[in-house]
Amino acid sequence: MLAEALDWPLKDFREAFREASDKGMVKADWEARLIFIPKAIFYNVPESPNVVRGWRIAWDELPECDLKIQIWKQLKAFIEGLTEGFREAFREACPQPLLKPLPNQEQEQEQEQEPKKEDISCANPKNPAPNGRISATSNDPGYSDMFEAFWDLYPRKTGKGDAWKIWKKSKLESLAMDIGGRVFLATEELEQWQRDEGRFIPLPATYLNQRRWEDELPGDRERDRKRAATIAARGGNAA
């Protein structure tokens, strides 16, 4: 999939990835389909504790495996160097991974791979399938777990179906963590979002369609300054 996305021959991608892996630039658990860039956190220092809280949107989606445990340990070690607010947010958003899969996880996976007709007909439209999969019922709108997490965070609960259409059309699954963090910040910092019981908060579909998470927020410049200072204090790079 990655080779295809880059439009590279598979052999060339494997060689390049192996070189990056040998240098410790990237780690992968191919069986769990999980890839980790260890130094990314140094280049993307979280702007505030609420950004860290936004990580929970993606954290539960990561499969339980040894690599997830490594990720947790490295992120925890990094966050420990920040303030107590960041540490508390990390504990809330990223609970320590399980050392092994849940007892019924393998059975659930088998059932998901080969759903029975009676299982499909009795599915609950308000309970989408786990792990971001789309439930296979005719009446189920098919909300993904990542979208549901965004919906839980967004303070104005109007037009869920329209928002879902934009989410799918714009392919926002991979941006869910960033969007969640910005929603947290906007809720805290935008005065118009706090007036008249949220009357001036844009509809969720508008927020997504206009990519409003990319708007500058009141605290962005100060966060940029602190992030630059943090990077400089760590030697000016991710080493």
Please write the tens of the pLDDT for every residue from 129-138: 333 333 333 3
Please write the tens of the pLDDT for every residue from 58-86: 898 899 999 999 899 888 888 887 889 99
Polymer length in residues for the chain: 239
**Which stretches of the chain drop beneath a pLDDT of 70?**
99-140, 230-231, 233-239
The pLDDT, as a whole number, for residue 102 is 44
C-alpha 150/C-alpha 205 separation (Å) is 12
Closest CA to 78 of 65, 97, 102, 94: 94
- DSSP assignment of 18-29, as one string? HHHHHTTS-EEE
Scan for tokens 């059309």, then name that residue.
169
In the chain, % helix, strand, coil (3-state, to 5) comes to: 55, 5, 40
The pLDDT, as a whole number, for residue 235 is 60
The pLDDT, as a whole number, for residue 197 is 84
- DSSP assignment of 10-78, as one string? HHHHHHHHHHHHHTTS-EEETTTTEEE-TTHHHHS--SSHHHHHHTHHHHTTSPPSHHHHHHHHHHHHH
The pLDDT, as a whole number, for residue 231 is 66
What secondary structure letter does DSSP report for 134?
A: P
Sign of CA dihedral 39, 43, 47, 53: negative
Closest CA to 64 of 101, 96, 37: 101
